[in-house]
A and B are shown apart, each in its own frame.
Chain A
Amino acid sequence: QSALTQPASVSGSPGQSITISCTGTNSDIGGYNYVSWYQQHPGKAPKLMIYGVRNRPSGVSNRFSGSKSGSMAFLTISGLQAEDEADYYCGSYSNKNTLWIFGGGTKLTVL
């Protein structure tokens, strides 16, 4: 099964807000509220930023928020900071022949 679809890159200036989209199907994002978002800095392991579409783990800044509409999920980062520059991946449970599916990743550049 193909990966979830994310834009390859997004950019924003410090203090601005950006939104990253993640497009799936009714077999994954559209059918379940098991969407999560991961941040990955170069050479580091992914870090959970959002789970269950819109929930933040303890310790994650409230500048990060998640939402979903139909088969699309969104990660919004407000008040951009230099440290937010990283790759971001969405992921979802899937009822197809793969249990879990990730997006291709979005590189966030803070200008």
Chain B
Amino acid sequence: EVQLVESGGGLVQPGGSLRLSCAASGFSFSTYSMNWVRQAPGKGLEWLSYISSTSTIYYADSVKGRFTISRDNAKNSLYLQMNSLRAEDTAVYYCAGDRDYTFDIWGQGTMLTISS
């Protein structure tokens, strides 16, 4: 079964840091480009970051300089290191597999709450 499973969400104080993980199974992870997408409560989808199979990386302006995407193909895993967290970073964070500019595989999401 093709699957992405996010983990690492929780409650963090403003200014804090956290690393999200995304475990892939059932498909050739190393050949897939991967993304992080978030959804604030009651809001729409927001693309955050992209990493290609060869580790070319892009970020949305809203997280550039604060978030770092990485991958470990040997572990079939994707990561998002988040620093200097703000209240507006509160959201469900999804990892999504990207084939030919299409997000065709999605995880179930992990919730991050930024609050003191």
Contacts and interface: CB of A to CB of B under 8 A. Distances in A.
Q: Is the interface of B mostly helix, strand, loop or mixed?
A: strand
Contacts of A101: 47
Size bracket, chain A contacts = 20 to 34
Interface in A49-93: 51-52, 57, 89, 91, 93
Contacts of B107: 45
B47 A45 contact: no
Contact of B45 (A46, A47, A93, A97): A46
Given A101-B47, A104-B44, A47 B106 contact: yes
Contacts of A99: 47, 50, 58
B61 A98 contact: yes
Given A45-B94, A100-B35, A51 B104 contact: yes
Contacts of B37: 102
Contacts of A97: 61
A89 B102 contact: no
A57 B105 CA distance: 11
